[in-house]
Every structure is written in structure tokens, then in C-alpha cells.
Amino acid sequence: MTDERALREALTRNEALVEVLHRAAGLDLPGWYLTAGCVVQTVWNVVTGRPPAEGIRDYDLFYFDDSVLGWDAEDAVIRNGARVFGDLPVDVEIRNEARVHLWYEDHFGVPCAPYTSTEAAIDSFASTTCCVGVRLDGGQWHVYAPYGLEDVFGLVVRPNPVLAPRHVYETKTRRWRRQWPALTVLPWST
């Protein structure tokens, strides 16, 4: 089984990702993780011999704060993040996962029940392969990977029909296959 040490070794090759992790730790966001594409795509790049940050569109920084669900509170965190990460050559997208249910249906066409944690949000990504989050706690790496890391390192993209509709999975995987042609994309289950 592929372990968290191998993940950490791959991710530390992406200098921008490591810098985002260190700066994110200083934001003191509840339940935060750096997650999704920037994590798994760094591994795909390392495994396929590409530059570690190649093709990564953005760096998703998720947190969970259900104490205030208004946009103004999340926007204040986003604006603070823009100051903290603004000098980096990457786009860091910060989102409060406690608010996803408020906009998800308008964006993706299906309703989303309120999440209870950042981990619950990660569990519902369109592909189980992308259900990975990392953060630094007191300088120590913490990895959340409910489906393991085998598919990530094995370049296998597996659908996760928990929430995201089929077209979201298929749109993402088409783009990923263009960027990482070595991927094995498993079909959506009917």
C-alpha cells in the first residue's frame, strides 16, 4: 500500500504547494486542508516525470466554519488569503465548506446537503482519487485520504457518484487526460 510518507515526499517537490501549506497553517482556519487537484496532480506530475507544478490550475484551500454562514465572513477570509498568498505564482482558492450547500445546486445542478466538516466535503469530490487533503498541524503533516493513495500513485481516476453529477466527472477527466495522458480513467457507473 502506498503510504503517507510517499505522498509527503512527492508533494515536497512542489515548492509552491509547500509554501502554501506553511502560510495556510498561519491563517488558523478551522478544519483546513489543501486538497483536490493541487495535491493529486503534483503526484501525477512526479510519477510521470514532469515538473511538479505543471498543469495545476489552482490550489484549493478548504476550511469549515459554520459559526457564520454569511458571504461577508468567507469573503473576509478570502481577502486575507489574497494578502497572505498574493506574492506566490499560484492561484490559491479559499472556500468555507460550511457554505457549499448555499450555492452548489446553482453551480452544478444538483442539491447538496450541508456538510458537517471539511472531511465530509472532501469525501464528496467527483473522483475518489481526488479525495485527499493535507495540512500542517504544529509543523507535522496530517493527511486525510478516505479512499487511500493507491489510485493517486497508480494514475487511476475512479468516479465517486456520491454527489457530483456524471457530467462534472466526465468534464474533469477529459481535461485531465489531455494533461496527463498516462491516466487510466474509469467510466462512470450507471
**10-residue block means of pLDDT along the chain (190 residues)?**
86 98 96 96 98 96 96 97 97 97 90 96 96 94 96 96 89 95 91
In this prediction, residue 162 carries a pLDDT of: 86
Residue 36 sits at the vertex; the CA angle it makes with 35 and 37, to the nearest 5 degrees, is 125
In this prediction, residue 190 carries a pLDDT of: 61
In this prediction, residue 101 carries a pLDDT of: 96
In this prediction, residue 1 carries a pLDDT of: 44
CB burial readout 17-35, b (16+ within 10 A) else e: bbbbbebbbeeebebbbbb
In this prediction, residue 2 carries a pLDDT of: 59
In this prediction, residue 34 carries a pLDDT of: 98
Q: Are the beta carbons of 63 and 79 closer than 8 angstroms?
A: no
pTM of the entire predicted model: 0.94
In this prediction, residue 115 carries a pLDDT of: 97
Annotated domain spans of the chain: 4-185
